[in-house]
């Protein structure tokens, strides 16, 4: 039967994974600053707003799909 320490360890592992994914995404964005942005989301196919494409160079997802990925 899991105890409170096992639970805490699992929660900590989840937070570490999230932090690493966020850091990797930030690094990837920095490397792709001059990359071409997609006009349509690679996840849902909806058009990515022009303001987002200009502001976030190399974006591949609409705001809703990007939020779900994060």
d(CA 58, CA 27): 12
Query: pLDDT tens for residues 34-48?
Result: 678 899 999 999 999
3-class SS at 22? helix
Q: Dig out the tokens for 39 from the structure.
A: 């006009």
The string of pLDDT tens digits covering residues 11-22 is 999 999 999 999
pLDDT, position 24: 85
pLDDT value of residue 2:
72
Q: What percent of the chain lies above the pLDDT cut of 90?
A: 63
């Amino acid at each position: 039967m899991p105890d409170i320490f096992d639970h805490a360890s699992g929660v900590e592992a989840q937070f570490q994974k999230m932090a690493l994914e966020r850091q990797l995404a930030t690094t990837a964005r920095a490397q792709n600053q001059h990359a071409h942005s997609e006009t349509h989301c690679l996840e849902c196919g909806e058009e990515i707003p022009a303001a987002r494409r200009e502001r976030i160079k190399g974006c591949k997802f609409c705001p809703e799909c990007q939020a779900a990925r994060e």
